Structure 1
Amino acid sequence: MPDPIRIAIIGTGLIVTGKHWPALRTLPRDFRVIALVNRTPAKAEALAETIHAATRSRPAVYTDYRQMLAAEKPDAVALALPPELNPEVAQTALAAGSHVIVEKPIAVSLAEGARMLPWAAQYGRVLMVAENYRYVASYRRAAQLIAEGVIGPPQVMRWTFYAYMPQDNPYYLTAWRRNPQHPGGYLSDQGVHNMAALRMMLGEVTHISGQTLLVRPDLIPADTLSATLRFANGCLGTYAATHAVPGPEQPLQVAGPDGVLSVWRDRMGLWRRGRPVDERSLPSEEDGLVAMYRDFSEAIRTGQPPRSTPAEALADLRLIVAMLRASELRQEIRVADIPT
């Protein structure tokens, strides 16, 4: 059995302590965390103690990622940083010989994200985006059923997404979210997740119209979005998202002539003639991050590309940018006309 991949984590904030480390902890044969980087040493030290208690191996702590790369020479690096830092740090790590998995959104603009597309081939390393929705079991099962024709050709899609952001939410308190450089602020921070799920199930979107609102002045530049989407396969859909008001989880619904799929994050149901014929629980370990890191490990060991490539992440971000642009222009636009 091969040795675990020696991975370093740059950025040790909420998403790492709450999602990445719990996922990595379940994969001791795949990964061993050897180093942590944070500008605030106490944050990295706290996580180092947590990892030590769980594994009896304490990762080294650094405040400078370049120093860490030179000293530790990790096999792989996980980046959990504000998106404006992703390109520079990712390229530096790749050039140092590390495989890289980078948090979404991939970058603060389509142009910055497009710069990253050739880097995996250029440096001969895996460059992957940590888009866990591509690994959520219910979304993947729904995509499989749609591809198998269980509901017939998809004709209508509907998704209303409540992602209320109260001011006492720890994610609200992160500076880069409150003063976003990425397009749409919270609408793209969460929105790229949802676009990944939609594209996985229904393919590419060709045309978009949309409207945005700013309901709460603290959630700049907009916190509410409603859009109409036309897919290349002929499906017509509506997507609405808000961070301004609370609401229950609503299923993503896809209807065809032979049935309707309703898909939640942890379950799904199939309806025919208005009656449920199949309902099942489909939980994902750590919201898909365990499967995501397994894919990262396999890509490193086999040389095969991961499911969540920079090109996929850029396509997800392009849809959010297209919605924002359609809102500005007050007209339907072609996604292909959005420049990088």
Structure 2
Amino acid sequence: MKSKRQIRVGMVGYRLMGRAHSHAYRDVPFYFDTECTPVMQAIAGRNEEGVKKAAEKLGWASYETDWRRLIEREDIDLIDIVTPNDTHAEIAIAAAEAGKHVFCEKPLALDLEQAKRMLEAVNKAGVTHMICHNYRFSPAVQFAKKLIEEGRLGRIYHIRATFLQDWLMDPNFPLIWRLQKDISGGGTLGDLGAHIIDIARFLVGEFKEVVGTMETFIKKRPLGTMSDNLKGQIESTTYGEVNVDDATLFIARFENGALGSFESSRFSKGNRAGNRFEINGEKGSIRWDMENLNNLQVYLGDDEPGLQGFRTINCTEEEHPFAQVYWPAGHILGYEHTFTNIITELMNGIAKGTSPYPNFEDGVRNQAVLEAVEESVRNRKWVSLGEKIL
């Protein structure tokens, strides 16, 4: 049997997304027959005690306390970035210049200018690159894409999408890095809105113009940290300013004439991870809810009268993208499988010398929409994507 090419992975960071990515690297060879197979070579983090424990628990062969050392290592082929947003650009550009392939968590950067520099760096180096918009890789979302491409919905008129959470509603929840613009780049818009923007681009097409509004409900919070299960721990009696949005709403026009409405919030009581969309076309509609991610609701207008209505498709059949490698139909998949699926695409891209979607170009286009929404809020007017993506 032909031996597979090993891709030796170096991951920077090890918290929530680090655990999700680690799980996926371990599972890819178990489920998928790829030409390249990931090897969990090394992990990097600033706290030696923490990164050592993470390496042992998650299954990494070694660890470093400086990401620069990770990039210098000759036994590393791919750099995976799961650190706070303000570090993405520096690490990705350095990795590309060292000839390493790059996989980066979203949003790609703090701002559009950084994102463009990251794209330029990976293109100049000729390395494979992807951004981790994992929700694209739910079999139900992939099947939605298939139905749209086959013309089953006809011309698309609307998309309405939300990503709603409620873990931040306690006014005493601490001022974590996600609430500081110089580290996160933005609040719910960049954290949650980035996902629904990417799904909209994936399913409907490119944005033409946007107009929006945003609000910060709690202006000051005590200093502290957050655990992987979104629980806060206050570490100081000192309060700091929250300078990002708690909630953002915007509407959009797409290049193909479709209209869209988008809402991201961490102040939506009862919503733990309300990542949802509905798309309406001339021939039918589809609905998806990440909290019930195996199911796609489908309405087809050519059904006979009396039988028309939304049907629920459990996307675990062998006909559904990615689902066929897992369990028998109806045996439910989970959040973790979306990471396994996207990293499988990454391995296939490295084998072929290509950068599968979503890659850094998608990251730039998503960042352009984020920037346009923020500009719209500041200036209280519609903003065209126009020159932003050039």
TM-score normalised by structure 1 residue count = 0.89
Partner of 2:22: 21
Q: Which string of whole-angstrom CA distances, capped at 9 and with x for unpartnered residues, describes residues 158-190 of structure 1?
A: 22331223378xxx8684313132443232112
Deviation at 1:195, TM superposition (A): 0.8
Measured in 2, the distance between the counterparts of 1:157 and 1:194 equals 10
- Alignment check: 8 A CA contact 1:187 1:241 kept: yes
Distance 1:2 1:323, change over 3 A: same
2:383 alignment partner AA: I
Partner of 1:203: 205
1:295 alignment partner AA: E
Matched, 1:43 2:50: yes
Q: Which runs of 4+ in 1 moved over 6 A?
A: none
Question: Which stretch has the larger CA shift, 227-236 or 172-181?
Answer: 172-181
Partner of 1:317: 367
Q: Which string of whole-angstrom CA distances, capped at 9 and with x for unpartnered residues, describes residues 191-240 of structure 1?
A: 11111101000001112111111123255321111111111111112112
- In structure 2, list runs of 5 or more residues that go unmatched: 31-36, 222-241, 302-307, 317-332
- Alignment check: 8 A CA contact 2:48 2:65 kept: yes
Partner of 2:289: 264
1:290 alignment partner AA: T
- Alignment check: 8 A CA contact 1:131 1:313 kept: no
Equivalent residues in 2 for 1:87-166, closer than 5 Å: 87-166=89-168
Deviation at 1:285, TM superposition (A): 5.7
- Alignment check: 8 A CA contact 2:119 2:360 kept: yes
Q: How many residues are treated as equivalent by the alignment?
A: 331
Partner of 2:314: 280
| CA RMSD of superposed structures (Å) | 2.3
1:25 alignment partner AA: R
Partner-residue secondary structure (3-state), 1:305 = coil
Distance 1:162 1:247, change over 3 A: farther
- Alignment check: 8 A CA contact 1:133 1:196 kept: no
Measured in 1, the distance between the counterparts of 2:147 and 2:378 equals 36
Identify the match of residue 34 of structure 1 among 27, 34, 41.
41
- Alignment check: 8 A CA contact 2:11 2:42 kept: yes
Measured in 2, the distance between the counterparts of 1:269 and 1:228 equals 23
- In structure 1, list runs of 5 or more residues that go unmatched: 53-57
Distance 1:88 1:161, change over 3 A: closer
1:327 alignment partner AA: V
- Alignment check: 8 A CA contact 1:216 1:244 kept: no
Distance 1:288 1:173, change over 3 A: farther
Deviation at 1:97, TM superposition (A): 2.6
Partner of 2:328: none
- Alignment check: 8 A CA contact 2:212 2:248 kept: yes
Equivalent residues in 2 for 1:169-180, closer than 5 Å: 175-180=176-181
Question: Which stretch has the larger CA shift, 272-281 or 89-98?
Answer: 272-281
- Alignment check: 8 A CA contact 2:23 2:58 kept: no
Seq. identity, %: 23
